[in-house]
């Protein structure tokens, strides 16, 4: 079972080094946008992504709701109309996922602020976005020759297939943004528990 | 923004130490069950969890499908009848989530093999299960006085609220199980890509 | 293709006669509850059902949102905490669906008002409910000897299998409740369109 | 409560007259495609729609699974790769829903057969489709001056708002297609029950 343990270590390392790799001004801009959105009680946040990135989006949307946001997920039954003043957060490693880009175009068209979490700031999604947070993922790392990839991956390809490293790193990043927001908004774990679903599947 | 970075480090550390904490015979039993299920082409795997644990379940089910399994998720539109010979995997940190325990009872009743991923092997879910994999989570760690918790958490409470550490650690573990299965089943990344949805949201 | 046309006629007939069969005091009580819930801006409505009944629940929840309700669906990513003063609407033809009954118990436990839409008022779900609306379905009709079933079905078994007639009749009923609510709440079609998702799948 | 009863009658009437309005060669072509798809055990059927049309799609996909099809829904967690030989069924009253049209383009691109259920055969979705079934809906009827609309609606606008009449009529039509398929494929209600989920929400 060496692959189980080696991959868990790889994931842990990747998340650790990713925390160094994040661009501070991007993270700051993203969190400031979320804080100002919270303070406008009419604003909504719609989070979206396809496939496993969509699940990362959903996990973040749940926590935003626990924090008191009007948070929604593309693909849920309940999705309100998005307007100027709302924030749409799109997650796509490649930044090219067709339906996500199509939805992002509509978001821009109706005047929402668009955030992209992606490995590729120059992708179609990245180019539409008002705020970008670059999150490293497998592809990016494996083709690059920089210090970051050598640190984590040495000369080997990563073990985790496809978008795994992007997805779990984005998950770790967003879970960490939640902690930052707790402090900035003065929310305790009790507050989150109070807002947590008590009937759920 | 110190909380963003500190929490990412906490998560990375937690996953790393959790890989040491996993009980090898439990992991082996789980993977052997998955390998033998793959070899029986009529067997199905139904994965389930509530809330954010349900999202972890979904992310794993997607990869099982990419590996060639007949994989399903409780809560999806398409859920087939579960029978003897099928495997049901339930994810619940506390092992007490009401609807998950109710569904697990039915799974046992119809003769499926039940796997529990939980921090509490003696919980209602754990007691129903045929195979258990113990995954550390926040609660467990914060009340324990053992080496593991001191290593990771020192004397402080973790930053990440509620079930976050259990959820992301379970995600990392299952993503690592996927890599193990790739090697045991002789699957390449190309095989996974071939099975990946090409129309998705 | 005679079965396509015959079944459409059967469904149309069933919905028509069901509108005569509904108990007026039950419908009145349900609508009054929804009107008073609307007028309390903090109240939430959580709708739920399993399988195809769950889809009927979702279709109704969307329209409640279009009408301006704080509406949610069990199984969506975003499900808030349910409290005293909230309304939970459960849809189950048989009134015995295990996970729906378990969720209904929790709803009662936390002090929410429980509405059951079911063919069986004496079922486990019916017995938990504060408000019941009896909706005819296949089983009920096929075993009964009353005027209603003879009118619709003659001496034959219905063509539509399993819960089909219950599900589509409940859908038609709830779509009709929406029209009643539009008039009682003074909402126009334009109001609904304004609240309708503009980015959706 | 006159609106509840009047709207149920309107819906019943609409479904009844719609059964006369359907174009027989379109229905025949759709059913023949489904029968031949069933007979090719490797073929998959992916059903899709946005909002309430998406729920109609899901209800049909469940029944296709009960009939023994490899049926999937866009938006579910488990969605396999779509290939030549597969069938994609898109439901959209207007035929213009952006994400559905984008997904339909991809379906055509990968060589799947595309079916459109729509009120507008000349819409973007209709123009992409290999097989079209025209289903009347509110808009279509309300602007037309033909016998059909006068029969059902007289000189009044329909009571049911937005896409309601299209959605429930499509639901009734697809539920009726299921009965036709039961007869053509030699399936009994017992067969459907056997394939029905036994753990579900």
Interface contact C65-A75, CB threshold 8 A: no
| pLDDT of D93 | 96
CA of B53: which chain C residue's CA is closest? C77
Interface test with D, best of A52, A81, A98 (most D CBs within 10 A): A98
Interface test with D, best of B51, B62, B76, B192 (most D CBs within 10 A): B76
Active-site pick, D134, D167, D180, D189: D167
Residue A93 CA to residue C74 CA, distance in Å, equals: 30
In a domain, B136, yes or no: yes
ipTM of the complex in this document: 0.94
Domain residues for the domain of D60 are: 2-195
In chain D, the number of structural domains is 1
CA of D164: which chain C residue's CA is closest? C175
| pLDDT of B140 | 47
In a domain, B164, yes or no: yes
What pLDDT, in 10s, does the model give residues C36-54? Answer: 999 998 999 999 999 999 9
Interface contact A164-B182, CB threshold 8 A: no
Active-site pick, B24, B134, B157, B167: B167
Cβ atoms of D147 and D103 closer than 8 Å: no
pLDDT above 60: residue D83: yes
Among C102-116, C150-164, D2-16, D68-82, whose mean pLDDT is lowest?
A: C150-164
The shortest C-alpha distance from C3 to chain D (Å) reads 5
- % chain C with pLDDT above 70: 91
Burial A34-68 (b: 16+ CB within 10 A, else e): beebbeeeebbbbbbbbbbbbbbbbbbbbbbbbbb
C107: phi then psi, degrees, rounded to nearest 5: -60, -45
In a domain, D139, yes or no: yes
| pLDDT of C129 | 98
Interface contact B102-C98, CB threshold 8 A: yes
Beta strands B113-118 and A113-118, pairing class:
unpaired
Q: Which of C18, C27, C51 is facing D1, going by the closest CB pair?
A: C27
The SS3 of residue B11 is helix
In a domain, D201, yes or no: no
DSSP state of C76: B
* Averaged pLDDT of chain B: 92
Residue A79 burial (CB count, 10 A)? 25
- % chain C with pLDDT above 90: 87
Which residues in chain C are contacts of A88 at CB distance < 8 A? Answer: 199
For chain A, the residue count is 201
Across the range B143-165, mean pLDDT stands at 70
Interface contact D81-B196, CB threshold 8 A: yes
Chains with ≥3 CB–CB distances under 8 Å to B: A, C, D
Which residues in chain C are contacts of D191 at CB distance < 8 A? Answer: none
pLDDT truncated to tens, each residue of chain A (201 aa)?
A: 699 999 999 999 999 999 999 999 999 999 999 999 999 989 999 999 999 999 999 999 999 999 999 999 999 999 999 999 999 999 999 999 999 999 999 999 999 999 999 999 999 999 999 999 999 997 544 445 555 555 555 556 889 999 999 999 999 999 999 999 999 999 999 999 999 999 988
Residue A50 CA to residue A57 CA, distance in Å, equals: 9
Distances (CA, A) of B155 to B10, B146, B148, B150, B166: 13, 12, 12, 7, 19
Q: Where are the alpha helices (DSSP H) in chain A?
A: 2-21, 24-39, 51-66, 98-109, 124-128, 138-143, 147-153, 164-185, 189-195
For chain B, the residue count is 201
Cβ atoms of C160 and C10 closer than 8 Å: yes
The shortest C-alpha distance from A13 to chain D (Å) reads 28
Interface contact C77-A62, CB threshold 8 A: yes
Q: Where are the alpha helices (DSSP H) in chain B?
A: 2-21, 24-39, 51-67, 98-109, 124-128, 138-143, 147-153, 164-185, 189-195
Which residues in chain B are contacts of D48 at CB distance < 8 A? Answer: 199
Interface contact C65-A81, CB threshold 8 A: no
Residue C82 CA to residue C104 CA, distance in Å, equals: 11
Instruction: Retrieve residue A196's tokens.
Output: 């947590």
In a domain, C201, yes or no: no
The shortest C-alpha distance from C77 to chain B (Å) reads 7
The shortest C-alpha distance from A179 to chain B (Å) reads 6
pLDDT above 90: residue B57: yes
Q: Where are the alpha helices (DSSP H) in D40-163?
A: 51-67, 98-109, 124-128, 138-143, 147-153
Interface contact B98-C106, CB threshold 8 A: yes
What pLDDT, in 10s, does the model give residues B108-124? Answer: 999 999 999 999 999 99
Residue A93 CA to residue D179 CA, distance in Å, equals: 44
CA of D73: which chain A residue's CA is closest? A75
In a domain, A201, yes or no: no
- 3-state SS, one letter per residue, for B150-164: HHHHCCCCCCCCCCH
Which residues in chain B are contacts of D195 at CB distance < 8 A? Answer: 80-81
Cβ-Cβ contacts under 8 Å for B148 (sequence gap 6 or more): B17, B20, B21, B136, B141
Cβ atoms of B22 and B28 closer than 8 Å: no
Positions of A annotated as catalytic residues are 167
- % chain D with pLDDT above 70: 91
Interface test with A, best of B1, B10, B24, B178 (most A CBs within 10 A): B1
In a domain, A116, yes or no: yes
| pLDDT of C70 | 97
CATH code (residue A167): 3.40.50.10490
- % chain D with pLDDT above 90: 87
Interface test with B, best of C55, C98, C110 (most B CBs within 10 A): C98
Of residues B121, B136, B164, the one with CA closest to residue B144: B136
Cβ atoms of B55 and B87 closer than 8 Å: no
In a domain, C42, yes or no: yes
pLDDT above 80: residue D115: yes
């Amino acid at each position: 079972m060496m692959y189980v343990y080696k991959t868990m270590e790889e994931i842990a390392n990747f998340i650790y080094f990713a925390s160094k790799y994040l661009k501070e001004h991007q993270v700051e801009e993203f969190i400031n946008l979320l804080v100002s959105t919270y303070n406008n009680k009419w604003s909504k946040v719609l989070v979206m992504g396809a496939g496993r990135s969509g699940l990362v989006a959903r996990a973040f949307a749940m926590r935003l709701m626990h924090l008191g946001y009007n948070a929604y997920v593309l693909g849920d039954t309940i999705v309100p109309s998005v307007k100027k003043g709302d924030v749409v957060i799109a997650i796509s490693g490649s930044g090219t996922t067709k339906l996500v880009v199509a939805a992002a175009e509509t978001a821009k068209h109706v005047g929402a602020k668009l955030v992209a979490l992606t490995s590729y700031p120059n992708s179609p999604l990245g180019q539409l976005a008002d705020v970008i947070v670059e999150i490293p993922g497998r592809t990016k790392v494996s083709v690059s020759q920089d210090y970051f990839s050598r640190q984590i991956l040495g000369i080997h390809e990563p073990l985790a297939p496809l978008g795994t490293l992007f997805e779990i790193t984005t998950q770790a990043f967003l879970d960490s943004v939640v902690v930052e927001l707790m402090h900035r908004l003065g929310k305790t774990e009790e507050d989150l528990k109070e807002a947590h679903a008590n009937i759920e599947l």
